[in-house]
Amino acid sequence: MYIAQISIVVRDYDEAIDFYVNKLGWQLLEDTVLSEEKRWVRVAPKGARECNILLAKAKNQQELTSVGNQTGGRVGFFMHTDNFWEYYNQLVKAGVKFIRQPLEEEYGTVAVFEDLYGNLWDLIEPKNQV
């Protein structure tokens, strides 16, 4: 058993796709039009085999209030890499905003960045890859 998909509420499909694909370097897995207002948009890091992210466009004011604050201001998403410095430098060059600079922790190298809406992500190279 595994987690297959996580939803992130976004303001606009195309600006979210641009961020995840062009800034983070992920792949667009699917972009299917379901209606005039709704699309099924999935993205994932290149090479990801299990979990992907569904970009869900906010459809009302209540959902719009959660855009960028889906975890109450805490880091809510965690991305592992096997080459921290290469990917970190790629993100910096692409203009991704880091709010906590890289640190060496017991568990590995970590830095915190914001997505285009302000959701917080840990970028981690674990010391003991599992």
- Whether 72 and 118 share a structural domain: yes
Q: Which of 18, 48, 67 corresponds to the end of one domain?
A: 67
**Closest C-alpha to 79, from 64, 98, 94, 95:** 98
Q: Which amino acid is at 13?
A: Y
Residue appearing with tokens 């090479």: 47
Nearest to 89 by CA among 121, 123, 119: 123
d(CA 105, CA 88): 16
Write down the pLDDT at residue 2.
Answer: 87
Instruction: Give the Cβ contact number of residue 36 at 10 Å.
Output: 6
Domain that holds residue 51: 1-67
Contact 112, 101 (CB under 8 A): no
Total tally of structural domains belonging to the chain:
2
Q: Show which of 12, 38, 67 is a domain's final residue.
A: 67
CATH of the domain at 34: 3.10.180.10
C-alpha to C-alpha distance for 44 and 48, rounded to whole angstroms: 6
Name the stretches of the chain with pLDDT < 70. 129-130
Residues 26 and 57 occupy one common structural domain: yes
What pLDDT does residue 68 have?
94
Question: Is residue 94 within 8 Å of 87, Cβ to Cβ?
Answer: no
